[in-house]
Amino acid sequence: MSNHPLGGIDGLSLLKVIGQKFDGNIKVILNSFLAELPGLVPFAVPVNVSGGYKNGIFDAVNDVFKSDHQIIMFPAQLCSRKQKGIIRDLPWKKGFVQKSIEFDRTIVPIYFHGFNSKGFYRFATLTSFLSKLFKSSAISKLPMALLPHEMMKNRGKEFVVIIGKPISNNMLKELFNAKKDYKYLASRIEHYVCSDLKFSKVWNYLFRLFFHLFVEKQVPKFIIRRCSGFYAK
């Protein structure tokens, strides 16, 4: 289960990284709009996000959870939006917790670091406002039409992916039994991914910088790459 910062290329990247490890025995649950992309068709389990979810997840997903496929899923459903000045995931739906417990699945939390363009977030904010003004959920889905363009703009970029400790099915059941609330458990896993794993990236970066500058007394290569790229512009 991963956060969903980009809405397209994050799924493709995880599909490649995880798919190689499991010899292609993998499926990715994503909206039907992106499921038509040629590279995703063999692995995609299309879900019509615009149509809403029944109990947080479509019944069509059940077959995938019953199978032996590894599953990539983005519980936020839509990609990250700018909310109160912060770019972050929308609240995670509880369906992934329900199905993981029901079908004895282990959850592997993943944090994917990346951003779309400023123009995308402005447009998403505008459509969100208009959606509330005209009471039309369809308007809020319009930013999805920009995702192919955002994917093209992100070509060639490097992304950081952090994989957290697996959450076993027994642990999921224990956590659920303590509160009897799927939504609460989903929010706790979301917090772990979008806060704990996210900031582990920052601390790891600072540690590497400190080690190279003060222990090895040299500028690390990853800093040189970033600086050279910055000055090249």
Banded pLDDT at 32 (limits 50, 70, 90): confident
Give the tens place of pLDDT for each residue, 209-221. 665 566 555 544 4
Torsion, Cα 78 83 87 90, to 10 degrees, reads -30
Residue 202 confidence (pLDDT)? 63
**Distance separating alpha carbons of residues 123 and 34, to the nearest angstrom:** 19
Instruction: Classify the phi-psi angles of 108: left when phi > 0, otherwise alpha if psi is within -120 to 50, otherwise beta.
Output: beta
SS3 233: coil
Inter-residue contact 74 to 3 (CB < 8 Å)? yes
Give the amino acid at 193: V
Residue 138 confidence (pLDDT)? 86
Inter-residue contact 169 to 100 (CB < 8 Å)? yes
Average pLDDT over all residues of the chain: 82
Banded pLDDT at 229 (limits 50, 70, 90): very low
Q: Where are the domains of the chain?
A: 9-232
What's the chain's length in residues? 233
Mean pLDDT of 142-169: 88
- Look up residue 216 and give its DSSP letter: S
**Distance separating alpha carbons of residues 147 and 143, to the nearest angstrom:** 7
Reduced to 3 DSSP states, what percent helix, strand and coil does the chain have, rounded to the nearest 5?
A: 55, 15, 35
Give the tens place of pLDDT for each residue, 58-114. 677 899 999 999 999 999 989 999 998 999 999 999 999 999 999 999 999 999 988
Compute how many other C-beta atoms are within 10 angstroms of the C-beta atom of residue 29. Answer: 24
Give the tens place of pLDDT for each residue, 132-154. 999 998 898 899 889 989 988 88
Mean pLDDT of 3-30: 90
